[in-house]
Structure 1
Amino acid sequence: MIPTDLPDRLCAVEGVVAVALGGSRARGEQRPDSDWDLGLYYRGELDLPALRAVAATVADTAVALTAPGGWGPWVDGGGWLRIGGVAVDWIYRDLDRVHSAWADCRAGRYEVGVQAGHPLGFYSSAYVGEVAMCQVLADPTGQLTALKEQARDYPPALADALVAGGWEAGFLLAGAAKAAAGGDSGYVAGCLFRAVGVLAQVLHARAGRWLINEKGMIAAAGRLPGAPPRFAQRAQALLGGVGRSPAELAATINAARELVTEVVG
């Protein structure tokens, strides 16, 4: 459990606008061993020395906080802390960039960027989904709360764009079929993972639900209205038994084609 006064102390640091609880704990889907994910929404320059000083007063051991950008172009930066023996992650989010992503979502635009820890790629719409599903812990100026209220309704233009992007799943399987003839299990496995991820995006978009990362995306997609029968079980079976021989790989790809047809036609 995080100290009750920590969110307010973080908001007192220059640059920090709001603090939110994210991840599985914000959604009520956590396991006993789940981390606490704190989103530190900032504008302008962050006072890193002051932020590190706050960390030093609550963390069990010394912690290294990155500057913005320290974890890559999309996750931004932060630090991994242990507070009272519990893992608490501080994750930076540039609120101006989040607002820009929100404008793109409403216009039916999104970007998929390369980011460590995101094998499907980081979908820019995830920035807004994080806000929509977070629990605001401290927000002195009300800026994050206002954006959360706006993001409550999933933008139809974004849904249309993500559904239209479903064509990629079939394209991936066409490429996988060529590699299967040579027994290239690695390439086929990569294509299958991305194809399933694209289908998960399509299903979430159709249902007007935010999808913010790959963890749990298959199970979540399978629970959505409009998902094909046994979507989660079938998708997991594809990824859990890709095969090695050309014949095995071809059979897996054929099963994947059935799933793609049922989702995107």
Structure 2
Amino acid sequence: MDHLTKIANRLVGISGVVGVCLGGSRARGAHRPDSDFDLGLYYRPPLDTAALRLLASELTGGTVEVTEPGGWGPWVDGGAWLTVEGAHVDWIYRDLDRVHRIWQQCKAGHFEVGTQAGHPLGVYSHAYVGELVLGRILADPSGELTALQARSRASYPQRLRESLVANARWEVPFTLSIARKGVARGDAFYVAGCLFRVVGLLVQAVHAQAGCWVLNEKGAVEAAGQLPTAPADFSTRAHALFGALGSTPDKLTAAVDDADRLAAEVLGNLPPSPS
């Protein structure tokens, strides 16, 4: 961690960078030996990307592509992939004012889902807050990042919990009903997409009810299966929906029926939406 802290302290000396936070599996202690080190660069425009390029070249000993904000899309934003002393270190931009706004939206029960390469379910806006909640702050000269982390760690917003559960309650049955329209045509592509969305909605709802943050799709089904509001065999059954989906009407019908039963159990374990 010492070398990461040194890098973080160099980064906050660059104009625009407010703080640096270690995220991903490394922050949660769930990493493998070959896992990347994800450094969130919380910034305010204008960000001095020229200075970032100079630092990246110094750390890696070569030329590194460092994007402008937005270079990786509307949600991942931008950054750089570095190899420092044999370790993969990723810089990932986060507009700090945007994180503040999303935190206020979470408390009001609002969220949005954005299209982003690498995120087949889409990026749920509250993941920005979850990253900070689960992250380890490495450098924060002004204390602003630490203060925001403390506020967001204090409790999972009740209105966000209610919104995510309510969203699953109407969208899951609707999506299952339209999946059946593709069954007769043997449209495995359409049915698979519907089932993927259904499982994603259930994962979001189960995590919200437990007061846990979902950052992305990776490992989310397994994590949901360990939460108290999910059926004990949730992960196994969810994965099985995709393991042998098939393309005939009989097999597609069986898969949708299995998804329907799983969804009924999950939603039955969740509290009713407030009137």
TM-score higher than 0.5: yes
Looking at structure 1, the residues matched to 119 and 57 of structure 2 have their Cα atoms a distance apart, in angstroms, of 29
Report the Cα offset of residue 3 of structure 1. 4.4
Alignment of 1:243-258 (within 5 A): 243-258=246-261
Q: Does 2:119 correspond to 1:130?
A: no
User: CA offsets, 1:42-62, max 9 Å, x none?
Assistant: 012101111111111112532
Say which of 210, 218, 231 aligns to 1:215: 218
User: CA offsets, 1:73-116, max 9 Å, x none?
Assistant: 11100011111121111000000000000000000000001111
The equivalent residue for 2:197 is 194
Structure 2 unmatched ranges of 5 or more: 269-275
The equivalent residue for 1:52 is 53
Q: Is the 8 A contact 1:61 1:82 kept in 2?
A: no
Report the Cα offset of residue 130 of structure 1. 0.4
The equivalent residue for 1:86 is 87
3-state SS of 1:32 partner: coil
Looking at structure 1, the residues matched to 26 and 243 of structure 2 have their Cα atoms a distance apart, in angstroms, of 28
3-state SS of 2:121 partner: coil
Residue correspondences, number: 265
The equivalent residue for 1:235 is 238
- The TM-score normalised by the length of structure 1 is 0.98
Looking at structure 2, the residues matched to 201 and 6 of structure 1 have their Cα atoms a distance apart, in angstroms, of 34
The equivalent residue for 1:183 is 186
For 2:156, the aligned partner's letter is Y
Q: Does 2:41 correspond to 1:23?
A: no
The equivalent residue for 2:206 is 203
3-state SS of 2:116 partner: coil
For 1:210, the aligned partner's letter is W
The equivalent residue for 2:176 is 173
Q: Does 2:33 correspond to 1:38?
A: no
The equivalent residue for 1:157 is 159
Looking at structure 2, the residues matched to 96 and 3 of structure 1 have their Cα atoms a distance apart, in angstroms, of 24
Q: Is the 8 A contact 2:5 2:139 kept in 1?
A: no
| Structural RMSD (CA) | 1.0
Report the Cα offset of residue 147 of structure 1. 0.7
3-state SS of 2:138 partner: strand
Q: What percent of counterpart residues are identical?
A: 57
User: CA offsets, 1:14-35, max 9 Å, x none?
Assistant: 0000000000110010111111
User: CA offsets, 1:229-249, max 9 Å, x none?
Assistant: 200010011122212111000
Looking at structure 1, the residues matched to 113 and 61 of structure 2 have their Cα atoms a distance apart, in angstroms, of 36
Q: Is the 8 A contact 1:60 1:82 kept in 2?
A: no
